[in-house]
């Protein structure tokens, strides 16, 4: 039985369902949880939507966002993980229990569930849901269309990532036909940053460094506190850095509690940072990946920059060899 059919049957049979995603959730993670959760509620199933770090203020415009809680309660006959490549990133929300369903689009996904619907070619996990929910005979209503289209907008950075294709645009059009307002959702997702996020960016931008075709910067816990930014992430700063001209890779180091650092890579010109992230225990996409490492900001930065430079050098050596130049 194909993966999609397995997942559909598991969701159809279940009566009490837990849906979780990764720590420090981005827009696609939040929208995938909400989209699937609302669909299953409409199918008269009991659903809990759980994210260890909760939902940030920037996502408060999304329908039913207040239903996402930080810890599950009770027992479930189906446990679903969405938009997450490995179980370490869900922050222990499932304990030691193997998930029943895994729906994701990261190329580094470890297929950790009993049924795995993993489509690395999809621009977002929300896009996978938009494709498969009708196949599973789960109707997409206007609120569901709004969150799924928002997830596509978030993860494609407004239909701009290199994995965008015509099929994704057709999915977006289908969601608009159900009542999702593309201009409004686009504006709320990408064009209305928080004041605190902009202040937080300032600390990263003033420390921006360039080393050949690589740029990097860092965000310290002190920076986050002084900017009064409520999240534990980079406030999408790396999406801005990735637009800088004549740069192949940008790396952002975000200091966390307990001597830990989150690393975020963005790449252009065919350089695959997902494999590099995997060597550091992380994962993601060829052009956008991340990892979490233990250690001081300085030690982690030295180790990661050295490995990233080797990746870039190796990429161009391979190109030179293949072209004979």
Cα–Cα distance between 110 and 185 in angstroms, integer?
32
Which pLDDT tens digit goes with each residue over 176-202?
Answer: 999 999 999 999 999 888 999 999 999
Nearest to 302 by CA among 275, 256, 263: 263
Average pLDDT, the chain: 94
Domain 195-323 = CATH 3.10.310.30: yes
Would you say residue 317 has pLDDT above 90? no
Which pLDDT band, with edges at 50, 70 and 90, does 219 fall under? Answer: very high
pLDDT in tens, 161-183: 888 999 999 999 999 999 999 99
Each domain of the chain, given as residue ranges in start order, spans: 3-190, 195-323
Residue 46: predicted pLDDT: 98
CATH topology for the 3-190 domain:
inorganic pyrophosphatase (n-terminal core) (3.90.1640)
- Residue at token pair 């928002």: 150
Give per-residue pLDDT as tens, 138-150.
Answer: 999 999 999 999 9
Cα end-to-end distance, the chain, whole Å: 48
DSSP string, 34-88: HHHHHHHHHTT-EEEEE-TT---GGGTTSTTGGGEESS--S--SEEEEES-SSGG
pLDDT for 320: 66
Q: How confident is the model at residue 57 (pLDDT cuts 50, 70, 90)?
A: confident
């Amino acid at each position: 039985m194909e993966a999609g059919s397995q997942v559909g049957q598991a969701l159809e049979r279940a009566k009490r369902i837990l849906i979780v995603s990764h720590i420090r959730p981005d827009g696609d993670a939040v929208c995938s949880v909400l989209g699937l959760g609302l669909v299953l509620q409409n199918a008269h199933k009991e659903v809990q939507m759980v994210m260890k770090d909760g939902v940030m203020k920037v996502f408060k415009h999304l329908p039913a966002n207040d239903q996402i809680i930080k810890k599950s309660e009770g027992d479930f006959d189906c446990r679903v993980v969405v938009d997450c490549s490995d179980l370490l990133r869900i922050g222990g929300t499932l304990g030691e229990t193997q998930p029943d369903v895994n729906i994701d689009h990261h190329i580094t996904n470890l297929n950790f569930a009993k049924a795995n619907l993993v489509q690395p070619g999809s621009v977002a996990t929300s896009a996978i849901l938009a494709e498969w929910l009708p196949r599973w005979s789960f109707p997409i209503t206007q609120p569901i269309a709004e969150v799924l289209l928002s997830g596509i907008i978030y993860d494609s950075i407004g239909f701009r990532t290199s994995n965008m294709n015509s099929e994704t645009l057709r999915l977006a059009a289908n969601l608009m036909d159900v009542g999702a307002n593309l201009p409004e959702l686009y504006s709320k997702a990408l064009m209305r940053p928080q004041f605190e996020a902009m202040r937080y960016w300032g600390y990263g931008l003033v420390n921006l460094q360039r080393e050949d075709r690589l740029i990097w910067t860092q965000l310290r816990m002190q920076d986050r506190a002084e900017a009064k930014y409520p999240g534990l992430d980079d406030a999408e700063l790396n999406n801005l850095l990735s637009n800088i001209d004549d740069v192949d890779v940008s790396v952002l180091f975000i200091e966390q509690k307990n001597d830990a650092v989150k690393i975020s890579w963005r790449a252009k010109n065919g350089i695959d940072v997902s494999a590099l992230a995997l060597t550091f225990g992380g994962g993601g996409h060829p052009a956008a990946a991340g990892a979490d490492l233990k250690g001081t900001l300085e030690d982690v930065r030295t180790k990661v920059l050295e490995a990233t430079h080797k990746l870039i050098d190796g990429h161009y050596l391979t190109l030179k060899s293949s072209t004979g130049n």
